[in-house]
Amino acid sequence: MAKITGAAARLLAQQLQCIAERKGYAFFDHKKKPWNLNIIGVRSDIAKANKFDDSMYVVYRNSSKEWEVRLYKITTDPGTYYLQNPMNVNGTAIMVPGQYRSVYKIDKHLGKYEALCQRAGKVRVYRDSDKDDILDMEPDSITEGYYGINIHKAGSNSSIVNRWSAGCQVFKTSGDFNDFMSLVRRSTKHWGEKFSYTLLEEKDFEGC
């Protein structure tokens, strides 16, 4: 996890706001009220599965109304195990890039521990059905619904994704996840129980 403050945080916030505006997404910035979290996943260009090679930016104004950014290592893709052993007859879920407004709430992931869970709205997913370790994202495979695409943790410091994700957005380390959830809980005191999630791709940074 990296905590970014000062001029670097302001520049990152401007860059991510530029991307959001270009795509027609909301970017949350209430200059008088802190802890309005922009939770932004960024999928790497690597099509081979099973690595924690994606990123999550959490961008917000702190109690001093200054920009802060937390940067975490995650996966936005399913692991090889579930690609080869789909839980759905149509194939394994891979979240479609986009902005999912107010679809996440704090709840128990698999009944075990608190995470951000897809409880309040639908998301879109590709269905990868060929059972190899290459991520296939074909537009004609997209479906929309309640699929339990949660934001949760892997192990204490996992090296491969494997069974940790069947399509969820998963933190590489439990320490990073706990830091993230502390921000989420703090935000609820100001902004309520629902959270939005934005998934970008590396190429979206071009031109911003």
Q: What tens digit of pLDDT does each residue of 5-54 get? A: 999 999 999 999 999 999 999 999 988 899 999 999 999 998 889 999 99
Domain hosting 95: range is: 2-205
How many domains, in total, are found in the chain? 1
Residues 184-198 pLDDT 10s: 999 999 999 999 999
Q: What is the pLDDT of residue 49?
A: 92
d(CA 173, CA 207): 32
Q: How far is CA 71 from CA 54, 112, 130, in A?
A: 11, 25, 33
Q: What is the pLDDT of residue 169?
A: 98
The residue whose two tokens read 């936005």 is: 76
pTM for the model stands at 0.96
